[in-house]
Amino acid sequence: MTAAERGKNRPRGTVLVVEDEPLIRLDLADHLRSAGLAVVEASTGDEALTVLNANDAVVLVVSDMGMPGATDGIELAAWLRRERPKIKIVLVSGFSATLDMTAIADVALGKPVDLSRLVHEVGRLLGGQ
């Protein structure tokens, strides 16, 4: 497959990765970039809101649930549902898998994140574009 062919199949839009642990954020972002996605990063929910207010290209957010600052992942997802309901949401949590996040997220993943599953789920969510 040529670069031009890969570009045709590439989902349009940007994925925002929100994670306060730098190495985890870098790993998530790198795997998504390796899958051909445009990625921007934020280290807190508050920083994510700033990015979202300045960047209309974001079509999907991958966010940790528990982060420092005024806006954690759950509050960020609730804001997205209210203000940007078309943006897809993947929440990642190190907390109990019994926690039901389906009301506010399109996909919920546990930590440690299975990176191939993350790429698959993001691709599935963006596939309808």
Give the three-state DSSP class for 2. coil
Please check whether residue 98 lies inside any domain of the structure: no
pLDDT of residue 104: 85
Q: What is the pTM of this model?
A: 0.87
Write the CA distances from 71 to 13, 44, 61, 83, integer angstroms.
24, 7, 14, 15
Please check whether residue 48 lies inside any domain of the structure: yes
Please check whether residue 120 lies inside any domain of the structure: no
Give the pairing type, strands 58-64 and 38-42. unpaired
Structure tokens at 11: 């989902």
CB distance 13 to 59 below 8 Å: yes
**Residue-wise pLDDT tens digits, 25-73:** 999 999 999 999 999 999 999 999 999 999 899 999 999 998 888 999 9
Structure tokens at 66: 């528990």
* Residue 22: domain span: 13-73
β-bridge mates for residue 89, sequence order: 61
Domain count, the chain: 1
- The CATH number linked to 45 is 3.40.50.2300
**Please, which pLDDT band fits residue 5 given cuts at 50, 70 and 90?**
very low
**Residue-wise pLDDT tens digits, 91-117:** 998 765 545 666 789 999 988 999 999
CB distance 129 to 110 below 8 Å: no
